[in-house]
Structure 1
Amino acid sequence: MCATPLLEGTRIRLEPLTLDHLTGLEAIAFDDRIWRYMPITMKTPDDLHNWVESALRLTEAGTTIAWATVLKSENRVIGSTRFSDLDRTHETAELGHTWLSPEFHGAGLNTEAKLLQLTYAFEELKLRRVALKTHHENVQSQKAMRKIGAVAEGRFRNHFIMPDGSQRHSLWFSVIREDWPQTKSRLEARVGDLTPPSV
């Protein structure tokens, strides 16, 4: 089992996810825009409680590292993210289950989270590969992955049945150890461009 670290950025921090974050998550989690491209839906506090408890069970099993995303200036929970399918033998993981309150979409906070997570993945955990995947219609997510230097690897056809019954194909991307120096430079530049001078 890998203990979940606190990851500190300029505008956000990633705190190890606990049940104590439920109140903060409940204030933002039931906006349908968050879950539009995800194969789950979040409608009730019970849905959210079960989602957090599942993450904590997987963390205990050693296959997941889950965080709550906190806006430092307000000390407010604004989302969540995690590594899943963590494989210490083959030194791989998937970065996903990432969501933010829609009021922070486009604010660059997800970019900062990616920098924190990937730095931890490649420089602390010494992983060889971090995968990312997204809905075939989520063009914004695909563009964001390409911007950081993630390499498109292909499509899992008929990967998920969405809550509304539609079919999702998943587009896969990855960052590997050899990519990391360039990817880190891109992320640091983007985070620097988005950070207010007063911070």
Structure 2
Amino acid sequence: MPPTLEGRKVRLEPMTLAHIPALEKIAFDDRIWRYMTHPVKTPADLRAWVEASLQKEAAGTDQPWVTVLKSTNRVIGSTRFLDFDHEHRTTELGNTWLAPEFHGAGINPEAKLLQLTYAFEQLNLNRVALKTHHENLQSQTAMKKIGATYEGTFRNHYIMPDGSLRHSVWFSIIKEDWPQVKSRLLERLA
């Protein structure tokens, strides 16, 4: 189970089944799932999504969190480490979403700072990858803004729920990048 990560505005809590009612209050906005390969549209979809997340956590490949706004103690989204590779000390930071009312509110950079600090300073990882849909320009811009390096595009990587093909645009942060990335994030949040 991942630890609770505390920031100034947000707290990342390890995801549990007990978070489902709070997630149900925010998870059914189509804008959240537009670029995701497994959209959540119903309470049953959400339960299956959370249960799958927890199964992957139990298998040691994922570390899922819910994002909590500290000022109101309200769950406002979710994020995780996935494809955790203990041998090579790598992971992917993804499956990140926030209720749309919190887009552009400085929540995501703080969550990334918390996760990346944990990745590089506690877990001693060598690499954290990030990927997004080729049409998700907002996400690509955010990844560049935190200092992630573009690595390439996996063409026709996924078939989306509507049958269209997704190219996955990959970025990464490696341990050598971390001091500069951390500095950038701290400056943005100051």
Please tell me the residue identity of whatever aligns with 1:171.
V
- Uncovered stretches (5+) of structure 2, i.e. residues with no partner: none
Deviation at 1:164, TM superposition (A): 1.3
SS of match in other structure, 1:23: helix
67-76 or 160-169, which moves further after superposition? 160-169
Q: How does 1:68-147 map to 2 (within 5 A)?
A: 68-147=66-145
Please tell me the residue identity of whatever aligns with 2:28.
F
Find the counterpart in structure 2 of residue 189 from structure 1.
187
- Uncovered stretches (5+) of structure 1, i.e. residues with no partner: 193-199
2:159 aligned with 1:173, yes or no?
no
TM-score (structure 2 length as normaliser)? 0.99
Find the counterpart in structure 1 of residue 47 from structure 2.
49
SS of match in other structure, 1:55: helix
Cα distance in 1 for partners of 2:65, 2:43 equals: 18
Please tell me the residue identity of whatever aligns with 2:9.
R
Find the counterpart in structure 1 of residue 57 from structure 2.
59
Deviation at 1:167, TM superposition (A): 1.1
Aligned length: 190
SS of match in other structure, 1:178: coil
Please tell me the residue identity of whatever aligns with 1:162.
M
TM-score (structure 1 length as normaliser)? 0.94
SS of match in other structure, 1:13: strand
Pairwise CA RMSD of aligned residues? 0.6
Deviation at 1:42, TM superposition (A): 0.9
Deviation at 1:165, TM superposition (A): 1.3
Cα distance in 1 for partners of 2:94, 2:49 equals: 14
| Paired-residue identity, % | 69
Deviation at 1:191, TM superposition (A): 1.4
Instruction: Give deviations 1:15-63, integer Å, cap 9, x for gaps.
Output: 0000010000000000000011111111110100000001101111111
Cα distance in 2 for partners of 1:51, 1:43 equals: 11
Find the counterpart in structure 2 of residue 16 from structure 1.
14
Cα distance in 1 for partners of 2:64, 2:139 equals: 20
